[in-house]
Chain A
Amino acid sequence: GAVVSQHPSWVICKSGTSVKIECRSLDFQATTMFWYRQFPKQSLMLMATSNEGSKATYEQGVEKDKFLINHASLTLSTLTVTSAHPEDSSFYICSASGTGGLQETQYFGPGTRLLVL
């Protein structure tokens, strides 16, 4: 149980284009979803927290207009990187927490590797 998927697993795009990453909880309802960014050999950097039906809460230094987060249902959250630039290239990982016994921890997706040319 508590499986989280991400799509796509990797994406290459041209500078200036937008990229959407999907995060889905497959076997539980995710009341809260988190988006992280991870650089090589570094820890996880929280970008934003989103609750279903509410606007995302962004961490300091994360541009909300550049990283659009939508959590429209209890099983789906999306991260859209708008007008992507090479410096946005990174490994993006989502996580989700649910209700009841799944409320306490975060279950991570497999990650999406973004390369902006």
Chain B
Amino acid sequence: GENVEQHPSTLSVQEGDSAVIKCTYSDSASNYFPWYKQELGKGPQLIIDIRSNVGEKKDQRIAVTLNKTAKHFSLHITETQPEDSAVYFCAAKYSGNQFYFGTGTSLTVIP
């Protein structure tokens, strides 16, 4: 079955710096990779996604890159702000509409 690994598990950055979170997946048939942000006590919120026919996607301060050959994808947050502090989950879509989720990265942006 699919396996999604996510690193690092915790990440602290100074406000204004960039943050990078990396995920690897095992099923080469996976073709859709969303990223979710989860604030404490809330449900995950979709922040960006990428399909397997695209190498990079950007939305303001957030970008995602995908390397299909290496089976890894990354989330990049630039000019981080304290409100970016949250847990971030990557996911890979496999059979049907089910997702495999990474283990999460707790991001802390230090003012």
Q: B-contacting residues of A (Cβ < 8 Å)?
A: 4, 6, 32, 34, 41-44, 46, 49, 93, 95, 97, 103-111, 113
Q: Are A43 and B101 in contact (CB under 8 A)?
A: yes
Q: Are B42 and A111 in contact (CB under 8 A)?
A: yes
Q: Are A43 and B102 in contact (CB under 8 A)?
A: yes
Per the bound structure, the CA–CA distance linking A14 and B36 in Å amounts to 33
Closest to A104 in B: B32
CB distance from A63 to the nearest CB of B (A): 20
Per the bound structure, the CA–CA distance linking A107 and B46 in Å amounts to 7
B25 within 8 Å of A (CB atoms): no
Describe B's contact surface by its main secondary structure. Answer: strand
Number of interface residues of B (CB under 8 A): 22
Per the bound structure, the CA–CA distance linking A110 and B41 in Å amounts to 8
Q: Are B98 and A44 in contact (CB under 8 A)?
A: no
B43 within 8 Å of A (CB atoms): yes
CB distance from B27 to the nearest CB of A (A): 16
Q: Are B44 and A44 in contact (CB under 8 A)?
A: yes
Q: List 23 A-B contacts (CB under 8 A).
A: A41-B106, A43-B89, A43-B102, A44-B44, A44-B101, A46-B98, A49-B96, A93-B44, A95-B43, A95-B44, A97-B97, A104-B93, A105-B32, A105-B49, A106-B99, A108-B43, A108-B44, A108-B45, A108-B46, A110-B42, A110-B43, A111-B42, A113-B41
CB distance from B4 to the nearest CB of A (A): 9
